[in-house]
Structures are given as structure tokens and as C-alpha cells.
Chain A
């Protein structure tokens, strides 16, 4: 297993379009996190799942954002009616819940909204 993967790696879209990103953690990861990172900033938490349950959402996650993890394995993050301010790197991380939980990050999906 080569770790957490994300697809696509890059996405260019026009303002107003919908985009969907996918994250595939390793099979043992019962927790899955989404973060957003803009230029010059550290990653900011968006939401996380334990198995298929979405346990927490940040106030950064506007109504245009929705995340799912239908079978407790892969996850999707959809942004509807994209805005230029959505341009960022979207990071996914998987972990095994428990003591000394470590979040393992994927390579990210870089979104550019024109």
C-alpha cells in the first residue's frame, strides 16, 4: 500500500462550475480529514469522518462545500458554484483512531478557479 492518494492532482475550472475531489486512504484508516491550504498559509481544517460518519465541520465549510465518505473508505469533497477564493490546495489525511493517532497526508489536489 503506497499511502493516501488523491485525485485529480490538479484541477482548473471556471468560476461557477462544480468540482469534485477524491481521497483514497489506506484500508486501515478509519478516520479521514480534509484540510485546505492557501499560498503562504498552513493547512486549515475543513471536516473529518470516522468511518462513514461526518463528526465535525469547520465554519470555513460553507454551504457550497459538501463531503461524503459513503462506505467508510474513500471520500469525496465537492465544491458547488466555485469562486476564485476557492483556489487552494485541498489536502486529505487518513489515520487510525486511538492513542498516538497520526494523520498521514495525501499529495493534495491543487484547484485553480479562473
Chain B
């Protein structure tokens, strides 16, 4: 069975501080990992995926297969980063996304 765990439901930081949103997964094969974001009153949208190894809006995430983690990081948080963040995976045998419970990030001025 595949599972995604986001241990923090709520995370609050001050503007300019570093932020790390944790994500751990359980999957026996080699999954594809994603971070989705939902800003207030907007639809769920893809932030980044591990395969692309890109930085979006200053966010990066590294897949650590040994620790089965895919933490999302940003060195200097901005107020506009306040949103709900979901970690998700797709297993090798299908296309369904399995989501974590989400972390609500609040960046205070």
C-alpha cells in the first residue's frame, strides 16, 4: 500500500525565515513525488515534482530514498507563500495520486 504522511497540520513562520514542510512516504517501489499547493480561494495546483528537479517560487524538494522523504524547503519565506501544501505520490503501477493530509503554512509579516 502507498501512503504519504505530513506530520505538521499547521506551520507558522515569519517573513524572511527559512521554511521546511515535511513529507514522508511509504511505497515499495520507486514512486514519483509531487508537491501541490492551494492558495486561498484557488484551485489545487502543481508546485513541483521530483523528476524535474526544479525550483519553483524559490521552493525546492529533494527526494531522499533512504529516509523515504520529500521535504519542501524555501530559504526565505514570503507572505504570499501562505497556503495549504500537499505532498503526493504516484506509484509505478498507476496514475492515481495519493495525497498526504496537508500542511497549512502561514507566513507572518
Interface residues of chain A, those whose CB is within 8 Å of chain B, are 3, 31, 33, 35, 40-45, 48, 56, 58, 91, 95, 97, 100-108
Chain A residue at smallest Cβ distance from B100: A42
Is the pair A100, B52 in contact by a Cβ cutoff of 8 Å?
A: yes
Total number of B residues with any Cβ neighbor in A under 8 Å: 20
Is the pair A43, B101 in contact by a Cβ cutoff of 8 Å?
A: no
Asked whether B95 is an interface residue with its Cβ less than 8 Å from the other chain, the reply is yes
The tally of CB-CB contacts under 8 A between chains A and B is 50
Main secondary structure, interface of A, reads: loop
Chain-A contact segment, one of B14-22, B43-51, B55-63, B72-80: B43-51
> Given contacts A31-B95, A42-B102, A44-B99, is CB(A103)–CB(B46) below 8 Å?
yes
Is the pair A42, B101 in contact by a Cβ cutoff of 8 Å?
A: yes
Is the pair B97, A40 in contact by a Cβ cutoff of 8 Å?
A: no
Chain B residue at smallest Cβ distance from A95: B95
Is the pair B98, A102 in contact by a Cβ cutoff of 8 Å?
A: no
Least Cβ–Cβ distance between A55 and chain B, in angstroms: 8
Is the pair A103, B97 in contact by a Cβ cutoff of 8 Å?
A: yes
Partner of B96, one of A33, A106, A108: A33
Rounded to whole angstroms, the CA-CA distance of A58 and B95 in the bound complex is 12
* Inter-chain contacts of A48 with B (CB < 8 A): 95-96
Chain B residue at smallest Cβ distance from A99: B51
Is the pair A102, B46 in contact by a Cβ cutoff of 8 Å?
A: yes
